């Protein structure tokens, strides 16, 4: 398509549906693609900036009269009433702004519909340039996805004239993805097409796939439900996180068969290819909506809680309780002790007593001792806080590993699925040893999970930060190969990262980040941490900061102290001699003898970043952690 020049118009259009549509028709004879949408933003922003003042002026007199009437009828309004009234006013105002802003957001698609008439013909209309609005709207939105044909072919037959706005098309894309993923998951059931596979590892991997696809469907359903309950703009951070995780679950299923032989590997990929593309398309659409909203300066309006209410379980006294380890132990709902002084002797038994999907926090105190069990915090167990007597005193130990026939995803000594999980003062160990290769100490897929003053000890694949949003503070992490890995959005603060002696012919690599889609909001951020050897380590072997597991691998080290164990090249390719240009690696203002970037690898994806760019990987911006970490009682640094 040819590039487009738009005539500048000084006169602002009226803030109405008609005005917005008129603006769209201004470009009706233009040909442009989505890269040209940025040219619309000045006009759109001009309208948007008028919204707050228009609403404020229109409502001010009415609000003054309302408040005056309340004061006259009931006497002096107390401070609490004023605060509640003010909160309601702000909420109504924000909702109004968001609603009107969606009109503006829809303008982009409307403009695409009109603008595409000059460049796209419709075979059903004889190629005369007449394009159906539904078809054009779908094409306009699908143009931002990675799999455009899949997007259009899956959505066009299901759309109707009431589903032309981006929000509607996004919801429709999720419904299509859920339907396809539900269909694909049937292949991995006990009675599915792979039921005759006798290979032990394949059977175990297929069982993993069944669970992973169930988690993916849960996340897609959560995304759809959330977008029905509040506006997409309000829920955009959650939606991007859950859709990123849904894609990660499907990729993990595929990864489980990478080293296996036979027809099963190809069959798994074939059955998940379509659902993976549909999930990616939904993610691309919500990411695009997010970018448009950012361009309209709507970020501050995106995720405020309705009615400004705190979680049901959270009060001031709860925060004080969560901040004190001693108080937590005294007020614990459940006590676990190997010596019989608690209600339960195993952690697994205690978790069965936790109510499902509870909005109230359940505190489990695990007394000192070594608990030799493989623990799962199931996905129905929400808001669990587990506290021990110290990372070296309360230890959970296991030895499952890949060499002995367990897929990496299932080797974890401690696996967390339930959202809102918090662990404090505990140790998690996998004792399999380096010769057993992949052997995970802790794996978390739990959204908004927090680990404080915990220890994670193993060799290869120690800490599997699999998916969703995670935060680690003042933890010790020990390992050899890829010992911090996964595809979550995760921040490590004030942690000790401790590479240990690997096997002969092995090289230590600290991170292996698994971002597979450019629209995923995932990555590993290491902030204010220390990287030093664990015990005796032959530094001549070289320890690398990481290697790119997937094509969009994203890892940032900032304000951290790097010991002399770090190899001058800094980073290691996954295979071959270089890395994909699409990765995002960066080292920002680190210190210590291993922090010099003079001899680092010369990869396009190893970038120098500004202060502004570095802030994008902090708790505040990367995790939106100010909204949920503070409620756990764990200290954290919000920004740089």
Q: Dihedral through CA 380, CA 485, CA 478, CA 461, nearest 10?
A: 90
Measured distance CA(322)–CA(485) in Å, rounded: 29
220 token code pair? 């897609």
Measured CA angle at 86 (ends 85, 87), to 5 deg: 90
Q: Is 600 exposed, middle or buried (0-12, 13-18, 19+ CB in 10 A)?
A: middle
Q: What is d(CA 346, CA 387) in angstroms, rounded to the nearest whole number?
A: 14
Contact 257, 205 (CB under 8 A): yes
- Local structure of 456: helix, strand or coil: strand
How far apart CA 127 and CA 122 sit, in angstroms, is: 5
Catalytic residue among 482, 517, 599, 626: 482
3-state SS class at 47: helix
Q: Are strands 496-499 and 455-457 parallel, antiparallel or unpaired?
A: unpaired
604, 590, 575, 599: which is closest to 509 by C-alpha?
575
> How many C-beta neighbours within 10 Å does residue 504 have?
7
| Residue listed under structure tokens 């199931």 | 378
Integer Cα distance of 233 and 156 in angstroms = 24
Q: What single-letter DSSP state applies at residue 283?
A: H
Q: Which two tokens stand for residue 296?
A: 């309209």
Q: Contact 632/322 with Cβ under 8 angstroms?
A: yes
Instruction: Specify the DSSP class assigned to residue 88.
Output: H
**Beta-carbon neighbour count of residue 494 at 10 Å?**
17
Is-catalytic flag, 482? yes
φ, ψ (nearest 5 deg) of residue 305: -75, 135
Residue 164 has a CB neighbour count (10 Å cut-off) of 20
Could you give the CA distance from residue 280 to residue 268 in angstroms, rounded to a whole number?
18
State phi, psi for 335 to the nearest 5 degrees. -120, 130
Would you name the residues annotated as active-site residues? 482
């Amino acid at each position: 398509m040819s590039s487009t020049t738009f005539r500048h118009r000084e006169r602002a259009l009226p803030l109405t549906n008609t005005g917005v549509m008129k603006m769209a028709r201004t470009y009706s004879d233009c040909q442009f693609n989505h890269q040209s949408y940025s040219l619309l933003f000045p006009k759109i922003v001009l309208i948007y900036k008028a919204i707050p003042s228009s609403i404020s002026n229109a409502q001010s007199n009415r609000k003054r009269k309302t408040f005056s009437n309340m004061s006259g009828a009931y006497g002096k309004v107390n401070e609490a009433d004023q605060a509640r009234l003010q909160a309601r006013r702000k909420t109504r105002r924000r909702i109004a702004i968001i609603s009107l802003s969606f009109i503006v957001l829809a303008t982009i698609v409307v403009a695409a519909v009109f603008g595409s008439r000059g460049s796209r013909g419709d075979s059903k209309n004889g190629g005369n340039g007449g394009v159906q609005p539904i078809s054009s709207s779908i094409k306009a939105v699908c143009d931002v996805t990675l799999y455009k044909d899949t997007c259009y072919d899956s959505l066009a037959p299901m759309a109707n004239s009431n589903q032309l706005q981006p929000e509607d098309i996004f919801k429709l894309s999720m419904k299509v993805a859920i339907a396809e993923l539900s269909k694909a998951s049937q292949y991995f059931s006990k009675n599915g097409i792979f039921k005759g596979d006798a290979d032990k590892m394949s059977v175990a991997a297929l069982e993993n796939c069944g669970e992973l696809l169930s988690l993916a469907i849960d996340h897609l359903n959560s995304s759809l439900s959330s977008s029905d309950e509040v506006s997409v703009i309000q829920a955009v951070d959650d939606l991007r996180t859950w859709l990123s995780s849904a894609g990660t679950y499907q990729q993990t299923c595929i990864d489980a068969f990478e080293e296996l032989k036979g027809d099963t590997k190809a069959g798994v990929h074939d059955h998940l290819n379509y659902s993976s593309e549909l999930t990616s398309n939904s993610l691309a659409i919500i990411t695009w909506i997010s970018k448009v909203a950012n361009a309209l300066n709507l970020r501050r309006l995106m995720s405020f809680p309705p009615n400004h209410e705190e979680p049901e379980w959270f009060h001031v006294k709860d925060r004080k309780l969560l901040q004190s380890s001693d108080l937590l132990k005294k007020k614990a709902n459940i006590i676990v002790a190997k010596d019989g002084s608690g209600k339960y002797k195993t952690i697994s038994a205690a978790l069965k007593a936790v109510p499902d999907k509870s909005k109230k926090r359940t505190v489990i105190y695990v007394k000192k001792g070594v608990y030799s069990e493989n623990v799962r915090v199931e996905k129905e167990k929400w808001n669990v806080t587990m506290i021990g007597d110290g990372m070296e005193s309360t230890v959970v130990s296991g030895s499952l590993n890949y060499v002995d026939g367990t897929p990496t995803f299932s080797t974890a000594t401690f696996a967390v699925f339930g959202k809102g999980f918090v662990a404090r003062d505990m140790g998690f160990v996998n004792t399999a040893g380096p010769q057993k290769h992949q052997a995970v100490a802790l794996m978390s897929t739990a959204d908004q999970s927090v680990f404080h003053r915990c220890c994670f000890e193993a060799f290869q694949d120690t800490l599997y930060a699999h998916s969703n949003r995670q935060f680690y503070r003042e933890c010790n992490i020990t390992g050899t190969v890829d010992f911090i890995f996964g595809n979550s959005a995760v921040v490590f603060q004030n942690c000790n990262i401790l590479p240990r002696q690997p096997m002969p012919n092995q090289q230590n690599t600290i991170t292996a980040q698994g971002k597979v889609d450019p629209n995923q909001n995932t990555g590993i951020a290491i902030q204010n941490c220390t990287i030093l050897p664990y015990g005796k380590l032959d530094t001549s072997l070289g320890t690398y900061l990481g290697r790119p597991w997937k094509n969009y691998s994203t890892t940032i080290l900032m304000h951290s102290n790097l010991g002399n164990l770090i190899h001058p090249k800094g980073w290691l390719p996954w295979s071959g001699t270089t890395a994909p240009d699409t990765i995002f690696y960066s080292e920002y203002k680190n210190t210590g003898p291993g922090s010099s970037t003079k001899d680092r690898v010369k990869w396009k994806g190893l970038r120098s970043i500004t202060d502004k760019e570095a802030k994008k990987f902090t708790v505040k911006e990367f995790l939106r952690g100010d909204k949920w970490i503070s409620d756990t009682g764990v200290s954290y640094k919000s920004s740089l």
